[in-house]
């Protein structure tokens, strides 16, 4: 494993005035440049974990280190510069009255000089493909476009890590595709680390590594292939396996010769239509 | 829903008035409100009216939009006009119907006051029609900056204003949605006695409030995550540039004041 950009050691956390711990003895590392998906159903603690990584909660016990900064009140603004977050609701994170104002918001907060700011706003909007919408107002944009603007606002700050907290869950399939391919492209361009918190295993299947959270603990950790092998167990945790994985498994049970659990529809279709050639 | 609202509507055209610095326009209006009171006879009012119409001409705004902006206050103007007609007892008696007596001075006063109202409304609507809400906010923030020393939370006020502006359409959409949802459940917003109609608004307002508070909370978290920690050490994306045109516009106001001063009786 490459050097970790985030390391979490034995973290416990509970919300004020609650006896139940939302996070119980969590330890995990995130390597530089990887795409990590954290999955779990509602109440598994995944959103709490996301908020903790951004210093919106502090651990009760244990140690969180992000880009070399220990997560404490004195370093929280340093952490927030390095870890950008995209939230679930596209409307409720759009601060500016127009697209360019919104992208500039984070830069203004960090006291970036005006000349640098204009260049960075243009550049980040161009990279998410929203440059033509510079002066648009948010209510004229689709959900996917708003999320792309939110991503532009994050990358304008040149962070090391992007954290997607259910960022695609309120979008239609097209918007989701838009957002995910934008993130993927950005990640390849500049060695970003991406953490996506989601309950959509379809989205998680594109990650390098998946961590399954359940009741505030790390339940499983592995590559998407390994995680999807769990099948019934995942369903028991309230997660649904992507359709191609399900189908390839059922086909195998019916004695079709299918090599592996395919993660994407394309792979499965390819194997199915070529399966007779091999005989 | 938005399209019906004329008040505060911005028309993005290219004109000399549009290109002025919002600070110049705000100061101009502030000055104009005072200068208007200098006029007190027919000639000075004529000059004032002519000046206003030149402004409107320069802004390239269709006069229809200005009259549309008058609608909400037309009753107020009519009411003050009538008050003056019936209550001012100066000059010659013109008409007498029963106990009502209309004097020449009353008609004149009424006309002057209504004209004053009209011109003020025209000029202020000109501000909102030629300046985008965000520029007005920027202008206000910059003009109020000296009051920071008096502990006036200028940055916070400006931010509040721009966030409200940004969320007006969002909340409008939401109102529309909730209204439809309640109508689908049998709520009736548009008929029945006024008491019932007011009651019908409650199931509209409560969900709207709940969601607005939820939005506010999420927005606050998102702002904090993006490094917002108050006005200290913040830079600005939008910069205002004071140009010679702005100085010219403000000096015009002084010229107007001087002319009116000469003409007033």
| Claim to verify: residue A29 and residue A120 sit in the same structural domain | yes
Q: Check CB contact under 8 Å for B163 and A108.
A: no
Largest CA distance in chain B: 73
The DSSP H or E segment spanning A274 is helix A265-274
Give the Å distances, CA to CA, from B41 to A276, B38, B48: 100, 9, 11
Q: What is the dihedral of CA A169, A170, A172, A175, to 10 degrees?
A: -80
| Claim to verify: residue B112 and residue B23 sit in the same structural domain | yes
* Chain B contact set for A108 (CB, 8 A): 234-237
Contacts of A203 (CB under 8 A, 6+ apart): A37, A168, A176, A180, A196
**Mutation for testing the A interface, residue in B131, B237, B238, B239 having most A CBs under 10 Å:** B237
Q: Check CB contact under 8 Å for B226 and A98.
A: no
| Claim to verify: residue B64 and residue B101 sit in the same structural domain | yes
Q: What is the reported pLDDT for A126? A: 92
| Claim to verify: residue B180 and residue B121 sit in the same structural domain | no
* Chain B contact set for A157 (CB, 8 A): 226-227
The answer, for B233 touching chain A at a CB cutoff of 8 Å, is yes
* Highest mean pLDDT, choosing among A42-56, A252-266, B76-90, B246-260: B246-260
Residue A103, helix vs strand vs coil: helix
Catalytic site positions of A: 166
| Claim to verify: residue B255 and residue B170 sit in the same structural domain | no
| Claim to verify: residue B111 and residue B193 sit in the same structural domain | no
Residue A67: CB atoms within 10 A of its CB come to 18
Q: What is the reported pLDDT for B7? A: 46
Residue A4 backbone phi and psi in degrees, to 5: -75, 140
Query: How far is Cα of residue A64 from the mean position of the Cα atoms in its chain?
Result: 18
* Chain B contact set for A106 (CB, 8 A): 226-227
Q: Check CB contact under 8 Å for A138 and B134.
A: no
Instruction: Give, to the nearest 10 degrees, the angle between helix B104-130 and helix B63-70.
Output: 120
Asked whether the beta carbons of A168 and A180 are under 8 A apart, the reply is yes
Q: What tokens does A52 get?
A: 């903790």
* Chain A contact set for B226 (CB, 8 A): 80, 84-85, 95, 105-106, 109, 153-154, 157
B136 lies in some domain: no
| Helix/strand/coil (H/E/C) assignment for every residue in B175-229 | HHHHHHHHHHCCCCCCCCCHHHHHHHHHHHHHHHHHHHHHHHHHHHHHHHHCCCC
**Mutation for testing the B interface, residue in A51, A74, A95, A137 having most B CBs under 10 Å:** A95
| Claim to verify: residue B77 and residue B151 sit in the same structural domain | no
Phi-psi region of A159 (alpha: psi -120 to 50; beta: other; left: phi over 0): beta
**Mutation for testing the B interface, residue in A79, A114, A139, A157 having most B CBs under 10 Å:** A139
* Of the candidate ranges B101-105, B148-152, B255-259, the one whose mean pLDDT is the lowest: B101-105
What average pLDDT score do residues B210-218 get? Answer: 94
Place of tokens 């106990």: B99
Asked whether the beta carbons of A138 and B162 are under 8 A apart, the reply is no
According to DSSP, the β-strands at A161-165 and B100-103 are unpaired
What is the rounded CA–CA span in Å between residue B3 and residue A43?
A: 43
What is the rounded CA–CA span in Å between residue B142 and residue B247?
A: 16
Asked whether the beta carbons of A220 and A212 are under 8 A apart, the reply is yes
The answer, for B168 touching chain A at a CB cutoff of 8 Å, is no
| Claim to verify: residue B164 and residue B37 sit in the same structural domain | no
Total beta-carbon pairs less than 8 A apart between chain A and chain B: 95
The DSSP H or E segment spanning B113 is helix B104-130
Asked whether the beta carbons of A12 and A62 are under 8 A apart, the reply is yes
E-state strands within chain B? 93-97, 100-103
CATH code assigned at A153: 3.40.50.300
Q: Check CB contact under 8 Å for B221 and A77.
A: no
CA atoms within 13 A on the CB side of B256: 27
| Claim to verify: residue B123 and residue B26 sit in the same structural domain | yes
Q: Check CB contact under 8 Å for A77 and B227.
A: yes
Domain count along chain B: 2
B32 lies in some domain: yes
pLDDT tens-digit series, residues B135-192: 899 999 999 999 989 988 999 999 998 898 889 888 988 999 999 998 898 888 777 7
Q: What tokens does A156 get?
A: 């304008």
B231 lies in some domain: no
Model confidence band, residue B22 (pLDDT cutoffs 50, 70, 90) = very high
- Closest by CA to B172, choosing from B130, B216, B149, B204, is B204
B237 lies in some domain: no
The answer, for B237 touching chain A at a CB cutoff of 8 Å, is yes
Q: State which residues form the domain around B18.
A: 2-131+242-263
Q: What is the reported pLDDT for B3? A: 46
Domain count along chain A: 2
Q: What is the reported pLDDT for B72? A: 80
The answer, for B4 touching chain A at a CB cutoff of 8 Å, is no
| Claim to verify: residue A47 and residue A156 sit in the same structural domain | yes
Q: State which residues form the domain around A262.
A: 242-279
Model confidence band, residue A2 (pLDDT cutoffs 50, 70, 90) = low
Residue B221: CB atoms within 10 A of its CB come to 17
Q: What is the reported pLDDT for A1? A: 52
B61 lies in some domain: yes
With CA atoms as reference, the chain B residue closest to A99 would be B166
| Average pLDDT across chain B, whole number | 88
Taking the CA atoms of B230, B234, B238 and B240 in sequence, report the sign of the dihedral they define.
positive
């Amino acid at each position: 494993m490459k050097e970790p950009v985030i390391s979490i050691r034995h973290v416990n956390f509970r919300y004020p005035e609650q006896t139940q711990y939302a996070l119980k003895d969590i330890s995990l590392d995130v390597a530089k440049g990887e795409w990590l998906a954290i999955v779990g159903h509602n109440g598994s603690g995944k959103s709490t974990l996301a908020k903790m990584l951004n210093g919106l909660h502090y651990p009760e016990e244990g140690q969180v280190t992000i880009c070399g900064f220990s997560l404490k009140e004195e370093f929280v603004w340093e952490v927030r510069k390095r870890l950008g977050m995209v939230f679930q609701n596209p409307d409720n994170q759009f601060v500016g009255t127009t697209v360019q104002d919104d992208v500039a918001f984070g830069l203004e907060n960090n006291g970036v000089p005006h000349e640098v700011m204009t260049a960075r706003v243009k550049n980040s909007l161009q990279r998410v493909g929203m440059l033509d919408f510079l002066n648009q107002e948010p209510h004229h944009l689709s959900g996917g476009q708003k999320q792309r603007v939110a991503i532009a606002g994050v990358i304008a700050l040149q962070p090391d890590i992007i954290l997607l907290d259910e960022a695609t869950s309120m979008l239609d399939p097209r918007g989701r595709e838009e957002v995910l391919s934008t993130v993927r492209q950005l990640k390849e361009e500049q060695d970003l680390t991406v953490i996506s918190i989601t309950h959509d295993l379809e989205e998680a299947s594109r990650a390098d590594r998946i961590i399954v959270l359940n009741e505030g603990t790390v339940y499983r950790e592995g590559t998407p292939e390994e995680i999807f092998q769990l099948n019934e167990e995942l369903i028991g945790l309230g997660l649904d396996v992507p359709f191609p994985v399900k189908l390839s498994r059922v086909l195998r049970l019916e004695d079709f010769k299918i090599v592996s659990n395919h993660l994407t529809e394309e792979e499965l279709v390819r194997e199915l239509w070529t399966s007779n050639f091999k005989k | 829903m938005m399209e019906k609202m004329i008040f505060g509507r911005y028309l993005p055209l290219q004109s000399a008035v549009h290109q002025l610095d919002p600070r110049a326009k705000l100061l101009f209006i502030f000055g104009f409100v005072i200068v208007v009171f200098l006029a007190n006879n027919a000639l000075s009012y004529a000059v004032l009216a002519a000046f206003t119409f030149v402004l409107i001409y320069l802004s390239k705004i269709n006069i229809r939009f200005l009259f549309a902006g008058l609608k909400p206050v037309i009753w107020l103007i009519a009411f003050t006009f009538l008050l003056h007609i019936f209550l001012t007892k100066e000059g010659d008696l013109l008409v007498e119907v029963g106990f009502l007596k209309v004097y020449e001075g009353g008609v004149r006063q009424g006309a002057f006051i209504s004209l004053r109202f009209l011109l003020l409304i025209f000029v202020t609507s000109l501000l909102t029609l030629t300046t985008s809400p965000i520029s007005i906010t920027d202008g206000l923030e910059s003009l109020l900056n000296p009051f920071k020393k008096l502990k006036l939370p200028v940055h916070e006020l400006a931010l509040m204003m721009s966030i409200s502006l940004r969320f007006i359409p969002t909340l409008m959409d939401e109102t529309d949605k909730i209204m439809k949802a309640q109508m689908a459940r049998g709520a009736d917003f548009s008929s029945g006695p006024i008491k019932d109609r007011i009651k019908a608004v409650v199931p509209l307002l409560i969900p709207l409030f709940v969601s607005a508070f939820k939005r506010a909370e999420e927005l606050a978290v998102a702002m904090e995550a993006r490094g917002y920690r108050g006005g200290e050490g913040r830079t600005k994306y939008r910069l205002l540039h004071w140009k010679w045109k702005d100085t010219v516009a403000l000096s015009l106001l002084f010229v107007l004041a001087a002319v009116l001063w000469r003409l007033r009786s």
